[in-house]
Structure 1
């Protein structure tokens, strides 16, 4: 197994820089400290998902009796719900909550860091399936350890990207963020449809036969 291929694939799939607009949207009502905590949680969660997928991804999926295709459909539905909120300019998690409730907002930040930022935006079905495939190709303990180590690289890249989000937000201003939020909501909806389409055609191959060429 060529050791650099998994890292290149992971960086392309996870694309933490591309997730910055979503991070800005989902954390817009958090304080600076709460946003920093969200960055840390998302980085650690990204590493955890990748490392766990490399070590025991296939076994976990088999244990629950689910397939990557089913995971894709579930992830697609999550993304679709998030995209609808973004298109309607609704704020994530904190809608209808008291702004003064600091602990609730901190908990919301942790929740946002896991779903939808880490799963399925950063480390969705494509990332997990990629790690499972490459883990299956490993022949030595060293190669397996390298795969787990790539999780550290992705976690660090996520941290660096999200840490720069504040400067990007100040540059864009409130109007710029609102415009970008709706644009990225549309893109996220398209990503959700792609995930759902791919997962559904794998679950129901007959659907692929009905697609016009």
Structure 2
């Protein structure tokens, strides 16, 4: 298979898994039960645009921030892989992920009128896992224009799917049910765990080369 196609598939699967559009459906329903469909759609659309802006920001300046902080990319690969693995474990066991939203934040969100920024955009869509994944994949794609385009396409398509799912969240929960959503979430969790381990291995391999352990 062409390397660019393989990279594109890998990027899409990773972003789709870490954002988990289907898993957002019951959360959006729970947070917007007191709102009309029109109000829910406005909040969902605003949240997607806000999260897109956040992701774009870290895609553009993420590597620069790491350099300014003196963080080597292999360290970020390892840390990002561990973070993604923790998210995967939560998905596999059906637990709310602390990397996305804590219980305190969830309770606070229920009292807010506008939940588009918090907690939907941050941290449910553009959370630490998404930010880490963005920086990692942009660095992997640089300086290949086609692979950078692949990363951008993977993010855009995933956000589009998330937008559609959240707008249809009531229908999805009614027809698929929470059990169906949990089953899909566990399948995605397995894929994310494997990708997370690969990120850690890549970081360790780079560290070994830089340190002279491997020639």
Same fold (TM over 0.5): yes
The alignment partner of 1:125 has SS state of helix
**Deviation digits for residues 97-116 of structure 1 (CA, Å, limit 9, x no counterpart):** 43733369652222222224
1:128 and 2:139 correspond: yes
1:157 matched to which residue of 2?
157
Matches of 1:203 and 1:130, distance apart in 2: 19
**Deviation digits for residues 68-123 of structure 1 (CA, Å, limit 9, x no counterpart):** 211111111110111121112112415364373336965222222222453234x1
Matches of 1:9 and 1:42, distance apart in 2: 26
1:38 and 2:36 correspond: no
User: Among 100, 108, 111, which residue is 2:119 paired with?
Assistant: 108
Per-residue deviation at 1:24?
Answer: 2.8
Matches of 2:93 and 2:212, distance apart in 1: 31
Against the structure 1 CA distance between its residues 8 and 194, is the aligned structure 2 distance closer, same or farther, given a 3 Å change threshold? Answer: closer
Matches of 1:179 and 1:207, distance apart in 2: 44
- How many residues end up aligned between the 2 structures? 188
**Deviation digits for residues 22-81 of structure 1 (CA, Å, limit 9, x no counterpart):** 13325632334554443222222232233336xxx3x44332222221111111111011
1:95 and 2:103 correspond: yes
Contact kept in structure 2, 1:16 and 1:158, CA below 8 Å: no
Following TM superposition, the consecutive aligned residue runs of length 4 or more in structure 1 with deviations greater than 4 angstroms are: 7-13, 103-106, 146-156, 205-209
Question: Which TM-score applies when normalising by structure 2?
Answer: 0.65
- Cα RMSD of the aligned pairs, angstroms, is 3.9
1:81 matched to which residue of 2?
86
Q: Which runs of 5+ in 1 are unaligned?
A: 1-6, 136-145
Matches of 2:61 and 2:5, distance apart in 1: 19
Against the structure 1 CA distance between its residues 147 and 86, is the aligned structure 2 distance closer, same or farther, given a 3 Å change threshold? Answer: closer
Against the structure 1 CA distance between its residues 161 and 117, is the aligned structure 2 distance closer, same or farther, given a 3 Å change threshold? Answer: farther
Against the structure 1 CA distance between its residues 202 and 18, is the aligned structure 2 distance closer, same or farther, given a 3 Å change threshold? Answer: closer
Q: Which moved more, 1:199-208 or 1:185-194?
A: 199-208
Q: Which moved more, 1:185-194 or 1:40-49?
A: 40-49
The alignment partner of 1:90 has SS state of coil
Question: Which TM-score applies when normalising by structure 1?
Answer: 0.66
2:35 matched to which residue of 1?
none
Per-residue deviation at 1:172?
Answer: 3.2
Per-residue deviation at 1:8?
Answer: 7.1
Against the structure 1 CA distance between its residues 95 and 37, is the aligned structure 2 distance closer, same or farther, given a 3 Å change threshold? Answer: farther
1:29 matched to which residue of 2?
27
**Deviation digits for residues 172-203 of structure 1 (CA, Å, limit 9, x no counterpart):** 33221110111111221111111111111211
Matches of 2:119 and 2:54, distance apart in 1: 15
The alignment partner of 2:123 has SS state of helix
